[in-house]
Amino acid sequence: MRRIDHIGIAVEDLEAALAPYVDGLGMVVDHVEEVPTERVRIAMLPIGDTKLELLEPKDPESAIAKFIERRGPGIHHIAIAVEDVAGSIESLKAAGVRLIDEEPRPGAGGTLVAFAHPKGFNGVLVELDEAVDR
């Protein structure tokens, strides 16, 4: 059964954005990590069976910086856990769904990820997430 691996939220300032979750809701940060391929710094906040991923841009040219510039901070993507990212890419292609990534690439926390194009999912940016060390 598939599940939501995490929900990605674009933020301008990671520490300031964490405060309402940590100080206000008592949530605990699992880890903070730089993801060089995305030019972001992220914090993972476990919540039940899933996580919130707060993403702070480290570079004005990063996709997250451009998202914030266009639309302001807010929900950026939904990550669906899959067993085989490469296989999911192939089946999305076969279903005629536009992709951003034609090949899996390294993501946060030792995962393999690929993004589908929001046009393929009614405006929702969908990340496919394979835990390679699970």
Distances (CA, A) of 28 to 20, 44, 52: 11, 9, 11
Give least dist CB 77 to Co ion, A: 6
Q: Which stretch binds Co ion (CB under 5 A): 9-17, 43-51, 64-72, 120-128?
A: 120-128
Angle at 92 between CA 90 and CA 95, to 5 degrees: 110
Tokens for 18, please give them: 């964490």
- Please give the Cα distance from 55 to 108 (Å, whole number): 11
Which window, 22-30, 46-54, 98-106, 118-126, contacts Co ion (CB under 5 A)?
A: 46-54
For Co ion, the closer CB: 10 or 79: 79
d(CA 123, CA 77): 10
Is 57 near Co ion (CB under 5 A)? no
Query: In angstroms, how far is CA 89 from the centroid of its own chain?
Result: 16
Q: Binding to Co ion by residue 8, rule CB under 5 A?
A: yes
Instruction: Out of 10, 18, 40, 79, point to the residue binding Co ion (CB under 5 A).
Output: 79
Question: Using CA of residue 56, residue 57, residue 62, residue 67, what is the dihedral sign?
Answer: positive
**Minimum Å distance from CB 6 to Co ion?**
6
Instruction: Identify which of residues 22 and 115 has a Cβ nearer to Co ion in the complex.
Output: 115
The residues binding Co ion (CB under 5 A) are 8, 53, 79, 127
